[in-house]
A and B are shown apart, each in its own frame.
Chain A
Amino acid sequence: NAGVTQTPKFRVLKTGQSMTLLCAQDMNHEYMYWYRQDPGMGLRLIHYSVGEGTTAKGEVPDGYNVSRLKKQNFLLGLESAAPSQTSVYFCASQIGGGVNTEAFFGQGTRLTVV
């Protein structure tokens, strides 16, 4: 079982460049999330989706856009990368909106913006 797969695992960008991070899950989950992890701050929610074709802003959405055109994929875009976006990005999915639902995480994408 693949679970949640993030592509790429590592990337170095120059300031101003754009890129898209791909999150793919094969568990038919409805809810998907993008978090960023910074030292001393835990994981913070960037954007999320509660189903195909829907997206919403999380705690730190500025500088990012997302799309959920297919249920299994959740894309995170950086239109003009900034050094402040240097972080480790985690995608997560869960089957639905139950409070007890377990979230499954990808392996993370380490992004450095120089």
Chain B
Amino acid sequence: AQKVTQAQTEISVVEKEDVTLDCVYETRDTTYYLFWYKQPPSGELVFLIRRNSFDEQNEISGRYSWNFQKSTSSFNFTITASQVVDSAVYFCALRGGSSARQLTFGSGTQLTVLP
């Protein structure tokens, strides 16, 4: 069975602060992918990144960066110099080798960036 844990239910920061969203996962699969999605107040799910289990290099995309550590089963997401538009619910998800190939989601972290 797969499991994704996002222990931070809600985070509130002031604009321009850096913020890290934690994600811890469990899987018995050796090949798997990890994903981050953003859900703004409008409700849609926006794909941010995917990372495969064999690639532990950190990734940076503008103000976003991701830290994948297989040794601790974590895939954390950092927003640098946060902006009000970053306010959203952020989901971490895992896809392993099940026949359904479905995504297993964490419970999400509500990020509020205050002006």
Task: Spell out A's residues near B (CB within 8 Å).
Answer: 31, 33, 35, 40-45, 48, 50, 56, 58, 88, 90, 92, 94, 97-103, 105, 107-108, 110
For A43, list chain B residues within 8 Å (CB): 91, 103, 105
Q: B47 near A94 (CB under 8 angstroms)?
A: no
For A41, list chain B residues within 8 Å (CB): 107
For B47, list chain A residues within 8 Å (CB): 102-103
Give bound CA distance, A58 to B90, whole Å.
23
Give bound CA distance, A102 to B47, whole Å.
8
Q: On chain B, which size bracket covers the interface? A: 20 to 34
- Segment 18-34 of B: residues with Cβ below 8 Å from A: 31-33
Ordered by A's residue number, 25 sampled pairs between the chains whose C-beta atoms are within 8 Å are A31-B101, A40-B9, A42-B6, A42-B91, A42-B107, A42-B108, A43-B91, A43-B103, A43-B105, A44-B105, A45-B100, A48-B102, A50-B100, A58-B100, A58-B102, A88-B43, A98-B101, A99-B32, A99-B33, A99-B97, A100-B33, A102-B47, A105-B45, A107-B43, A107-B44
Q: A48 near B100 (CB under 8 angstroms)?
A: yes
For B9, list chain A residues within 8 Å (CB): 40
- Return the CB mask of B72-115 against A: 1 if under 8 Å, else 0: 00000000000000000001000111011111011110000000
Known contacts A48-B102, A107-B44; A40 and B50 CB within 8 A of each other = no
For B45, list chain A residues within 8 Å (CB): 90, 105, 108
Q: B101 near A94 (CB under 8 angstroms)?
A: yes
The secondary-structure label for the interface of chain B is: loop
Q: B91 near A105 (CB under 8 angstroms)?
A: no
For A35, list chain B residues within 8 Å (CB): 105
Q: A97 near B101 (CB under 8 angstroms)?
A: yes
Looking across the interface, which residue of chain B has its beta carbon closest to that of A33?
B102
